[in-house]
Structure 1
Amino acid sequence: MPVRRYEKRTQYLHCSSADTDDPLCKIRPILKLISENISKRYKPRQYQAIDEGMIAYKGRHKAKQYIPSKPTRWGLKVWLRCNSVIGFCHQLDLYLGRDQYRGIRTSVGHAVVEKLTKGLEGRNFQLFYDSFFTSIALARSLLEKRIFSCGTIIRNRKGFPSHLKNLPRMSQGEYVIRWSG
Structure 2
Amino acid sequence: MTRDRFLLLLKCWHVSDVSNDDKTDKLHKIRDMLSMITDKFQNILNPGKYVVIDETMIPWRGRLGFRQYIKNKSHRYGVKLYKLCTPEGYTYQIEIYTGKKDQKREVDHSQKVVLKLMNNLTEEGRIVIVDNFYTSLSLVEKLLSQKTFLCGTLNIRRKYLPKKVINAKIKKGQIIGKMNKKGVKILNWVDKRKVLMLTTCKDHDDKLIDTGKKKRGTNESIKKPGCVIMSSYYTTLKKGIKWWRKVIMELIFGTALINAWIVYNSINDDRNKMPKRLFVEQVIEAFTKKDLEVDTEATANNAHHLEKGSKKRRCVGCYDKLRAFLTSREADKKVKKILTECTSCKKYYCLTCFNEKHP
For Structure 1 versus Structure 2, the TM-score category normalised by the shorter chain is 0.7 to 0.9
Q: Is the 8 A contact 2:15 2:33 kept in 1?
A: no
Q: Is the 8 A contact 1:155 1:164 kept in 2?
A: no
Q: Give, in angstroms, the shift of residue 159 of structure 1.
A: 2.9
Report the residue type matching 1:180 in the other structure: N
**How far apart, CA to CA, are the structure 2 residues paired with 1:78 and 1:174?**
37
Instruction: Give the equivalent residue in structure 2 for 1:96.
Output: 98
Instruction: Give the equivalent residue in structure 1 for 2:133.
Output: 132
Bigger Rg, which one: 2
- Give the SS at the match of 1:139: helix
**How far apart, CA to CA, are the structure 2 residues paired with 1:122 and 1:93?**
21
* Higher RCO structure, 1 or 2 (CA under 8 Å, sep 6+): 1
Alignment identity in percent? 29
Is there any run of 5+ residues in structure 1 with no aligned partner, and where?
Answer: none
Q: Give, in angstroms, the shift of residue 153 of structure 1.
A: 1.1
Q: Give, in angstroms, the shift of residue 122 of structure 1.
A: 1.6
Q: 1:42 to 1:66 in 2, by over 3 A?
A: same
**How far apart, CA to CA, are the structure 2 residues paired with 1:45 and 1:107?**
27
Q: 1:178 to 1:23 in 2, by over 3 A?
A: same
How many residue pairs align between the two structures? 176
**How far apart, CA to CA, are the structure 2 residues paired with 1:174 and 1:154?**
19
Q: Give the TM-score taking structure 1 as reference length.
A: 0.82
Q: Is the 8 A contact 1:135 1:160 kept in 2?
A: no
Q: 1:23 to 1:68 in 2, by over 3 A?
A: same
Q: 1:10 to 1:159 in 2, by over 3 A?
A: farther
**How far apart, CA to CA, are the structure 2 residues paired with 1:70 and 1:64?**
14
Q: Is the 8 A contact 2:107 2:134 kept in 1?
A: no
Is there any run of 5+ residues in structure 2 with no aligned partner, and where?
Answer: 182-359
1:123 aligned to 2:124? yes
**How far apart, CA to CA, are the structure 1 residues paired with 2:160 and 2:116?**
21
Q: Give, in angstroms, the shift of residue 160 of structure 1.
A: 2.3
Instruction: Give the equivalent residue in structure 2 for 1:145.
Output: 146
Q: Give, in angstroms, the shift of residue 145 of structure 1.
A: 1.2
1:65 aligned to 2:71? no
Which structure shows the higher helix fraction? 2
Instruction: Give the equivalent residue in structure 2 for 1:166.
Output: 167
RMSD: 2.9
1:43 aligned to 2:46? yes
**How far apart, CA to CA, are the structure 2 residues paired with 1:140 and 1:62?**
34
Q: Is the 8 A contact 2:129 2:150 kept in 1?
A: yes
Q: 1:159 to 1:137 in 2, by over 3 A?
A: same
